[in-house]
Structure 1
Amino acid sequence: MLKLRSVFLLVLTCFLFYCHTNKPLQVTQTTAPETNRKTEPAPVDLSSSPVISPLEAINKMRVEPGFEVKLIAAEPLVSTPVALTFDEKARPWVVEMDGYMPDTIGTGEDKPTGKIVILEDTNQDGTPDERRIFLDSLVLPRAICLIEKGILVAEPPSLYYYEIKNDRPGKKTLVDASYAEGGNVEHQPNGLYRAMDNWIYNAKSSKRYRKKGDKWLIEPTHFRGQWGISQDNYGRLYYNTNSENLLGDYFTPGLGATNKNQRRVAGYVQKIVADNKVYPSRPTPGVNRGYMNGILNESKHLVNFTAACAPLVYRGDLFGPEYATSVFVAEPSANLIKRNIINEQGLVVKGEQAYQGHEFLTSVDERFRPVNLYDAPDGSLYVVDMYRGIIQHKTYLTTYLKNEIGRRQLTQPLNCGRIYKIVPANKPAKAVTLPGNPDQLVTLLGHANGWVRDKAQQMLIDSKYTQALPALHQALKHKDNSLLVMHALWTLEGLGALQTEEVLNLLREPTWPVRMQALSVLPSVLTKNTYKSYLPELKSLISQNDTLAAPYLAFLVSYLQPIDKTAAKTLRQQLVKSFPNNEYVADALISTLPEQEEAFQKELVVLAPDTNLVIHQELRGVVANIKSARKNKDPKVLLKEFPKGAAMFTSTCQTCHGPDGNGVNGLAPPLNGSEWVTGDKEKLVSIVLFGLTGPVQVKGHLYKAPEINGDMPGIGYDKDLANEDIAQVLSYIRRSWQNNADKVSAEEVAKIRQNLKARQKAFTVQELIK
């Protein structure tokens, strides 16, 4: 129930182009001219935003000098693309979300019009010229992942696996019936990113997936981001929310999500780039909160991210070494792509914007909507442009934005979409041919292009190429190419062929990224038969005061406990004594103690008597949360009393305020115990109908950005939303957790709604107090 405006899903536009050209579209490569940034752009006509041809659209882009934009595909070859992936032939498989927001009230959004299509380059000129529908009749599909001889397809609320036979769908298997359960279309899982550790991760989700034979494993992981996800060369994940430039993890992704009593684990969901400023090259009045102070500047340009999405750690080999630490982020509501530069010191990864005052790429075409970015087989950067007018879902669509949409006729057409690639000017880009020979694939595990390394690893595992094992074991010895070593390590893990002595050797490596991977792979290889071989090495890392390895050792306690409780306890005690003031070690240890926190609190006093140490502080916070949760009411009783309210809370409010009502850091303050929830009904109804602009004080604490998103959107703009439903969700939150306020009636909602029918903007705290 919090701000989250135009975040990634967009959608609309195109047949007007045929009237404009009077001939079928020819898909050709084009380039954008190098621009002089000192030249003022021509005035933009804000009275209309017509559909223009892809070639005209490129000419309206301003790309970083030294680069050019080339067209890969456009309508009718592709329509409303939102995501893609490449197969081993370098063919794009594209997700088309044709049904998203056909108009401002979402008419027909539930129709099965979505598709998965394969784009083929039949004449080998570098540009697709054939469209092949793999799947159709889908409702709002949002993500795909090729794996083994099939493909995962996310079609809310479910996740399915289809076998592939001659580019046609075969047997269909339900992998997860609740993949995208709850949440509206802007707030459902997406990504299906196959990471270096051989697990598949998502944005807007706390689940990860892995195929083992004919079975699918589903495990809990950290809740990450909103739309789009990628990894760096070491397998760490990066993501964001619509108002935050870049978030990410300091550690490899599969660790530390084992204690449901722990709200956050230090080192995960970290703010990597805090600067959220954007620099569009055109006025951008068409954003959901454009009427509010501070959203647009005096020239009507967006000031800060409002639809940040698709973070991409560039891992290609085409841009040159100066781009090796670049992370690109799309902003579809401002028609731009931002470049950030990241660096690391020890465990910590931080970054900053590459430029001040301008962007890597901007466009003055309002319908340019970059919603996903990808590393490509040829080392270029692929841009998925949904090319639509409406990008805000109806749940949060303000009257102001509806007027903007109408003013420039942004609703129609609906069937456009473009895919571009960005390359250095006058530099040839050719996709690497992936061989069928296993030994040659092993060699490609050390390739300079990250996409090639990832795909080679996946092909070796998917095809179960055990004949490549000798070459993989040999690759672990190539100390001059750490990327080869790391991918060989995880390929062997995927094939179940890692040898204990190999992991021990890598644990002794002086190169931290290699040592980090060896520590990260230990959960897969620790068994009753092997763990005693590893224990001396783990203790040695502690005695060497290896602060980089220490949090990983703490996470490993979880995997030792089922095998040898005494060994796990000894390792935990050694870590407490050696690193009592290290927040990463503290939180990692607490993550291994679900339902044992209070017992460990007593033990901790003996191990580390100084209760001011970080580990005491962190543990006290978790224990306090546990004690507070025990006072909560039974959610099953509330579900029976307010079924519609509970469902609406799950779909609209939970994302930002948390399932426990205690708020989510960076998004929203708590509802549990909030005086705004349990107090004056009229204020609460007003907030839910039209939103609230912060800062806001809750339980004596002033919440403001970046601790929370500064603006909570209302839901009253949706005229189809019944008063009874609003009353139920408000009654639900006024009675949930430790709240004990009286119900809200449909009549009360109707009266306030009538009184505020002329209102178009969010409330401020000052207004509500008056």
Structure 2
Amino acid sequence: MKGNVTHTLFAVLLIGLYSCKEDKYAEALSPEESIATFNIHENFEVKLFAAEPHIQDPVNLVFDEKGIAYAVEMPDYPYKPEEGKGKGVIKRLDDTDGDGVIDASTVYAEGLADATNLMPWKGGLLVTAAPHIYYLKDDDGDGVADSKTSVFTGFFENNSEAQITNLRLGIDNWIYAANNGQRSDVTFKDAPGEGPLQLRGADFRFRLDKGLFEKESGTAQFGQTFDDWGNKFFTQNTLHIQQTVIPNRYLERHGHLSSNSVNQNISDHELEMFQITPPPYWRAERTRRRNIQYQEQELNRVEYAEDHFTGASGGTVYDGGDFPEGFNGNIFTGEVAGNLVHRDVLAEDKESPTLIAKRASEELDKEFLASTDPWFRPVGFTVGPDGALFLVDFYRQHIETPVSIPDDLKEEMDFMHGMDRGRIYRIVPKSGVSETKVQDFSSLDSKTLVSHLAHKNGWWRTTAQRIILENPKAEYIPLLKDLLSNENPNAQLHALYLLESMGALEQGMVEEALESDNYGVRKNALMLAENFPKLKEKIAEKINDESPIVSLQAILSLGNYEDDFTINQLAKALIEKGENKWFRLGILSSNAGSGEAILKVLDEKYNFSGTEISWKEDYLKEVNHILEGKGIRAKAE
């Protein structure tokens, strides 16, 4: 009897071990079942917008000027497609019965390699698909793109997790793209004589309305977003929210700074997150092995398999205007490894020219949204015309580059399992969102179109901005001038930048904006003031602005000049603000703030050489580096 019991127990254990091996990785859930696993903020709910078979492997969603939804599918991930054999698809998504759920789809374009992101432009779509940024357009109105033009080419293309992506139209009328700091030699089809732009450790921006393209600060990976005032934030795997503090155009004025890195991790809660799914077997096992290795090598290093950001993606500012008070301007970031959505509340740092990203008081020990479905992969977000926050769920069993997983663990993994699935959700407050029907922006009369620049929803504002940029008309100018007196600071900024784009911006308009009660308007007015030399003293006055962000911008804008007035103003600013590295760097980025003349003023007026200052050595070291770069013998002591 005892032998039979032992035999039975052994059989049960054997079956259990076999079952554990077979069930290491969960299987997919239906969209409805997956939604049921969501633990979301009590004031919100999640509604299905699109799912298979109408969408598979989605990584991005946009709405054109008619309110039509287009999505990018990336079925090649995580493998590099053979040249000319990409499987990427762009789909038009339609809700034919008006119930809020997509029930029809049309292939707008296919055969794209590594397509990751879209932006509507002139009736077509700009598409990032390394090594290109394409322009696709449906010329005959059948819903399928007829033409495909490579606008830019030469971007890095050897890692699908670190390629050109995240097209964003900024308040300043530039289109920004994330490049992850990759080395690239980029050419523009409309400027073949200019030669390639060498991207190194930088992102990218361009203006198709002006034929301009250049490097931009930051090393955004998959997630790049802007607040209402043009502050840029980006996502990079473990660092879920960073800010670029100084635009690249200032950093390259003399070209001799020792470093152009201006990335600031603005999170006050570092890498901590609160997932409610256990880590997958491969991740837990890989981490266990690595930690053993670190201990054997006596390294002061620990790797975490859970509860720490490792797959942050798609950070997006919510500016839809329909969420409850306190949510507008928050940044929502997906965590594909943790199966969750994290929310950051931005606050000004009173001591430094950066913002601070904080957890909301009700989310100190939990996330805005977390799921127990290990297939839930929130890769990105889009604010829709209706004010909802659309969440793009790649929905795969595994999401990781195979090259980083040990071979024996990969034997049990199918990286393509789930490539026939994908979901897009609408996150909405339980109180509801606006249901205003979108008219075709390209056919609106001028007065109505310009009025949308004051809309509460950022999608409406940005779409109106884009249509005006694409086809500027003289009749817009008086309407935009009238908008300058609108109480909405978003409208004021759009009006200022659009007038500037049409050559209709006047000095008096900028002077008035410099005195705005809104720090974001003052900050951008300083940049526009750079076009008016007579405003130099007005710019200098803002060095003492109550907002450190405005103060830094004043230093950067004034640094375009090199006269005695500028040198004296920057010397004074250095003494008063030099303890902060960003103010020092802003001053050093200019010729006036890094030459022999400012050293003389510093000694004559402030006894700089004879005064004990904690940061003095760092400043003088950088000045010497800059002078040597210019071929001038170092004299800073």
Same fold, TM-score > 0.5, yes or no: yes
In the other structure, the counterpart of 1:364 is 372
In the other structure, the counterpart of 2:430 is 425
AA in 1 matched with 2:118: I
Match of 2:150 among 151, 155, 174: 174
| Structure 2: stretches of 5+ with no match in the other structure | 1-19, 182-201, 292-303, 631-637
In the other structure, the counterpart of 1:328 is 332
Confirm or deny that 1:502 pairs with 2:509: yes
Give, in angstroms, the shift of residue 119 of structure 1: 1.3
Is the 8 Å Cα contact of residues 378 and 394 (structure 2) preserved in structure 1? yes
AA in 2 matched with 1:550: S
Give, in angstroms, the shift of residue 194 of structure 1: 1.3
Give, in angstroms, the shift of residue 627 of structure 1: 9.5
- Change beyond 3 A, Cα 1:629–1:502: closer
In the other structure, the counterpart of 1:96 is 73
Matched ranges for 1:133-212 at <5 A: 133-165=107-139, 166=141, 167-169=143-145, 171-179=147-155, 181=156, 183-203=158-178, 204-205=180-181, 206-212=202-208
Q: For the residues of structure 2 that align with 1:604 and 1:393, how far apart are their CA atoms?
A: 55
In the other structure, the counterpart of 2:59 is 82
Q: For the residues of structure 2 that align with 1:609 and 1:173, how far apart are their CA atoms?
A: 60
Give, in angstroms, the shift of residue 96 of structure 1: 1.1
- Change beyond 3 A, Cα 1:510–1:382: closer
AA in 2 matched with 1:342: L
Give, in angstroms, the shift of residue 383 of structure 1: 0.8
In the other structure, the counterpart of 2:49 is 72
Matched ranges for 1:144-543 at <5 A: 144-165=118-139, 166=141, 167-169=143-145, 171-179=147-155, 181=156, 183-203=158-178, 204-205=180-181, 206-213=202-209, 216-250=211-245, 255-256=250-251, 258=253, 260-262=255-257, 268-286=263-281, 288=283, 290-292=285-287, 302-346=306-350, 347-354=353-360, 355-399=363-407, 401-402=409-410, 405-406=412-413, 411-425=416-430, 427-431=432-436, 433-434=438-439, 435=441, 436-478=444-486, 480-523=487-530, 526=531, 530-531=532-533, 533-542=534-543
TM-score (norm 2): 0.79
- Deviation digits for residues 197-254 of structure 1 (CA, Å, limit 9, x no counterpart): 11122231424333344x6311121123311111112121111211112111456786
- Change beyond 3 A, Cα 1:134–1:182: closer
In the other structure, the counterpart of 1:706 is none
Q: For the residues of structure 1 that align with 2:435 and 2:250, how far apart are their CA atoms?
A: 37
Is the 8 Å Cα contact of residues 195 and 231 (structure 1) preserved in structure 2? yes
Give, in angstroms, the shift of residue 378 of structure 1: 1.0
Give, in angstroms, the shift of residue 389 of structure 1: 1.9
Give, in angstroms, the shift of residue 453 of structure 1: 1.7
Q: For the residues of structure 2 that align with 1:156 and 1:278, how far apart are their CA atoms?
A: 32
| Structure 1: stretches of 5+ with no match in the other structure | 1-42, 631-770
Q: For the residues of structure 1 that align with 2:364 and 2:575, how far apart are their CA atoms?
A: 46
Is the 8 Å Cα contact of residues 379 and 431 (structure 1) preserved in structure 2? no
Give, in angstroms, the shift of residue 509 of structure 1: 2.6
Give the secondary structure class of the aligned counterpart of 1:324. Answer: coil
Q: For the residues of structure 2 that align with 1:281 and 1:116, how far apart are their CA atoms?
A: 33
Q: For the residues of structure 2 that align with 1:288 and 1:597, how far apart are their CA atoms?
A: 49
Matched ranges for 1:2-81 at <5 A: 47-81=24-58
Is the 8 Å Cα contact of residues 97 and 141 (structure 1) preserved in structure 2? yes
Moved more, 170-179 or 620-629: 620-629
Give the secondary structure class of the aligned counterpart of 2:48. Answer: strand
Give, in angstroms, the shift of residue 266 of structure 1: 8.7
Moved more, 200-209 or 320-329: 200-209
Is the 8 Å Cα contact of residues 380 and 421 (structure 1) preserved in structure 2? yes
Is the 8 Å Cα contact of residues 238 and 249 (structure 1) preserved in structure 2? yes
Matched ranges for 1:572-721 at <5 A: 572-573=570-571, 575-576=573-574, 579-593=577-591, 597=594, 599=596, 602-603=599-600, 605-606=602-603, 608-611=606-609, 613=613, 616-622=616-622
- Deviation digits for residues 12-49 of structure 1 (CA, Å, limit 9, x no counterpart): xxxxxxxxxxxxxxxxxxxxxxxxxxxxxxx9x95342
TM-score (norm 1): 0.67
Matched ranges for 1:747-758 at <5 A: none
- Change beyond 3 A, Cα 1:164–1:498: farther
Q: For the residues of structure 1 that align with 2:519 and 2:24, how far apart are their CA atoms?
A: 56
Moved more, 362-371 or 457-466: 457-466
In the other structure, the counterpart of 1:651 is none
Give, in angstroms, the shift of residue 274 of structure 1: 3.8
Q: For the residues of structure 2 that align with 1:384 and 1:168, how far apart are their CA atoms?
A: 23
Give the secondary structure class of the aligned counterpart of 1:57. Answer: helix
Is the 8 Å Cα contact of residues 269 and 359 (structure 2) preserved in structure 1? no
AA in 2 matched with 1:248: Q
In the other structure, the counterpart of 1:763 is none
Moved more, 514-523 or 377-386: 514-523
- Change beyond 3 A, Cα 1:251–1:108: closer
AA in 1 matched with 2:504: A
Give the secondary structure class of the aligned counterpart of 2:348. Answer: strand
Give the secondary structure class of the aligned counterpart of 2:280. Answer: coil
- Change beyond 3 A, Cα 1:467–1:191: same
- Change beyond 3 A, Cα 1:58–1:250: same
- Change beyond 3 A, Cα 1:184–1:141: same
AA in 2 matched with 1:372: G
AA in 1 matched with 2:66: K
Q: For the residues of structure 1 that align with 2:332 and 2:225, how far apart are their CA atoms?
A: 10
AA in 2 matched with 1:391: I
Give, in angstroms, the shift of residue 150 of structure 1: 3.5
In the other structure, the counterpart of 1:711 is none
- Change beyond 3 A, Cα 1:185–1:623: farther
Q: For the residues of structure 2 that align with 1:381 and 1:294, how far apart are their CA atoms?
A: 39
Q: For the residues of structure 2 that align with 1:617 and 1:364, how far apart are their CA atoms?
A: 53
- Change beyond 3 A, Cα 1:605–1:426: closer
Q: For the residues of structure 2 that align with 1:294 and 1:578, how far apart are their CA atoms?
A: 51
AA in 1 matched with 2:90: I
- Deviation digits for residues 122-162 of structure 1 (CA, Å, limit 9, x no counterpart): 33333333212222111111222222344322211122233
- Deviation digits for residues 264-322 of structure 1 (CA, Å, limit 9, x no counterpart): 569753423443212222212256465435999xxx97120110111112212222112
Give, in angstroms, the shift of residue 186 of structure 1: 1.6
Give, in angstroms, the shift of residue 500 of structure 1: 1.4
Is the 8 Å Cα contact of residues 93 and 119 (structure 1) preserved in structure 2? yes
User: What is the RMSD of the two structures over their aligned residues, measured on CA atoms?
Assistant: 3.4
Is the 8 Å Cα contact of residues 145 and 151 (structure 1) preserved in structure 2? yes
